[in-house]
Structure formats: C-alpha cells, structure tokens
C-alpha cells in the first residue's frame, strides 16, 4: 500500500485481480491505497502476434467487466494499458508512436462505450506506456503532446470529471537502440532517455538494464 505495483500477464488480468484482492484481504490492507496497473492491452497483443481471427483474441465485453471489477475492488488501480512501447521498439518515429497510441486509445474508448461503460469510467482506468529514445527534445515533446491530445479527446467524449482528463503516463528507456559492444554508450543513452521522460512529465519510469 506504499508503492505502485504493476503486472504484465496478457489474458490473465482477471486472475491477477482476484489473487491481489485475496492478498489485500489477508493482510488487512486498505484497498483504497492500492495503486498500479494490470496492463490489459489486447490490441497491443494483437499488434505483436497478429492473427487471422482477431475477434477471438479480443473480447471487449470481458475487458469491460475487468474495468468494472478493478474499479470496484481498487479505485486507484488502473486496468487498461495503451502501450506505445511496442511501436517504438519496432522502430517507429516519435510521431508514429504517438499517433498509433492515440488511435489505439480511441478504439478502446469507442468499443468500451458500446458495452455500456461511460467515458469517465473508462478514462479512470487508462494508462499510457511509452518508450523514450535518444531524440532528446522530441521525446520530451512527445510526452507533453500525449497529455494534451489525451485531454482533448476525453473532453470531446463529454467527460464530466476533470480528473478524467489527466492521464497516467509510464515510460521506459529504449531497448532496440542498445549495443552489445559498448555498454558505456548504453549508459549515456539511458541517461538522456531518462531525462527526456522526467522533463516530459511522466508519472513513473523504468530504466532498462
């Protein structure tokens, strides 16, 4: 209940949520202090693995149930991850990573609203995950632009809560541009990438080894 705790278990988020609820109850912790993310991102998994039958992999009704259950059990725990890192690690530009991520977020919102969820319910469960690369100032701009674009889109959906317009952003330093021959270069890259993320205003940061 003192630090954020996040998981990455594609397709198993409901099981993770159930186990977490049992653990919190056993330890008699305050559920209102549990913070973190379950990182459900079925569209991201589809982007990575591909499929000739995407409708089998992505069940938006199940995803909606996860969001409702998570919100009820742990008000501060986010369930839905809009993972832009997969685009960055595939070699996209800063603009492409941001554009694809925003597009994916809009798809989630549209599909989840079709299940009956309100925009404020959805927005409270969203977390952006980005990777920061070596393009120092552009990466700072990317994080700041993401917040502006997110707020504008949520506002366009007529969100009632101002809190809904403030997105949680997690960042991790780039992996695809690291070299096996010069670890000192990797250290320098990791340093500038971390600075970009922090100055851009991320909520949390992971530095890749």
Digits of tens for pLDDT over the chain (209 positions)? Answer: 788 999 999 889 999 999 999 999 999 999 999 999 999 999 988 888 777 666 656 789 999 999 999 999 999 999 999 999 999 988 899 999 999 999 999 999 999 999 999 999 999 999 999 999 999 999 999 999 999 999 999 999 999 999 999 999 999 999 888 888 988 999 999 999 999 999 999 999 999 88
> Which of 59, 40, 142 has the alpha carbon at shortest distance from 101?
142
How far is the C-alpha of 206 from the C-alpha of 209, rounded, in Å?
Answer: 9
> What pLDDT does 180 receive?
87
Q: Is residue 74 classed as helix, strand or coil in its secondary structure?
A: coil
C-alpha separations of 130 from 3, 36, 40, 65, 203 in Å: 20, 16, 15, 26, 11
CB 128 within 8 A of CB 100: no
pTM, full prediction: 0.90
Written as six digits, the tokens of 85 are: 């890192």
> What pLDDT does 119 receive?
95
């Amino acid at each position: 209940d003192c630090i954020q705790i996040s998981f990455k278990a594609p397709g198993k988020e409901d099981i993770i949520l159930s186990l977490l609820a049992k653990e919190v109850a056993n330890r008699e912790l305050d559920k209102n202090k549990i913070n973190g993310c379950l990182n459900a991102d079925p569209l991201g998994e589809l982007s990575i693995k591909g499929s000739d039958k995407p409708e089998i992999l992505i069940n938006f009704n199940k995803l909606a149930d996860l969001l409702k259950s998570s919100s009820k059990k742990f008000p501060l725990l986010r369930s839905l991850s809009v993972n832009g890192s997969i685009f960055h690690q595939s070699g996209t530009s800063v603009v492409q990573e941001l554009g694809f991520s925003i597009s994916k977020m809009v798809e989630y919102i549209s599909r989840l609203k079709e299940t009956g969820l309100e925009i404020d319910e959805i927005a409270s469960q969203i977390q952006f995950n980005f990777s920061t690369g070596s393009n120092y100032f552009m990466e700072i701009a990317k994080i700041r632009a993401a917040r502006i674009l997110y707020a504008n889109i949520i506002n366009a959906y007529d969100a009632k809560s101002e809190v809904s317009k403030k997105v949680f952003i997690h960042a991790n330093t780039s992996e695809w541009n690291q070299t096996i021959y010069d670890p000192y270069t990797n250290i320098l890259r990791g340093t500038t990438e971390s600075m970009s993320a922090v100055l851009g205003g991320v909520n949390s940061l992971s530095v890749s080894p």
